[in-house]
Amino acid sequence: MRKFSGWIVALLLGGFSLASVGRAQNMDWRAQRKMLKSQQKLEWHALKVQQQNRKLSWKGQKVTSAQRATANHEMQRERRDLKLRQRDALQDMRDRSRSQRAIQRSYAR
């Protein structure tokens, strides 16, 4: 009987500590979203600069139209992939914030 009551007390204390941890993890999602957006903006700018430099490097060389077309398609693919990765990262953040809010609501009840 003592072991059973000891387990009950331990479970209750563990539950209370988890509830306080859940409330303590109140994150500022707006600030994190703003940081993510600024980071994504820097990534986008870096990609644009890289692609501009690649195009400028063609000026001093003899590049065939097929090579240019291939490189242009590759650059479009890079832009599209970056855009999708950034969109997925933003959606992941939204999903995490929703789940965190749901957890906090369940602890508040």
Spatial CB neighbours of 76, under 8 Å, sequence gap ≥ 6: none
| pLDDT at residue 22 greater than cutoff 60 | no
Better-scored residue on pLDDT, 102 or 3: 102
Taking alpha carbons only, the member of 38, 106, 44 closest to residue 81 is 44
The pair of structure tokens assigned to 83 is: 């855009």
| Amino acid present at 109 | R
How far is it, in rounded angstroms, from Cα 58 to Cα 49? 15
How far is it, in rounded angstroms, from Cα 96 to Cα 99? 5
What residues does each domain of the chain span?
28-108
Summarize pLDDT for 25-80 with one digit per residue, the tens.
567 889 999 999 999 999 999 999 999 999 999 998 999 999 999 999 999 999 99
pLDDT at 56 (0 to 100): 94
Better-scored residue on pLDDT, 108 or 94: 94
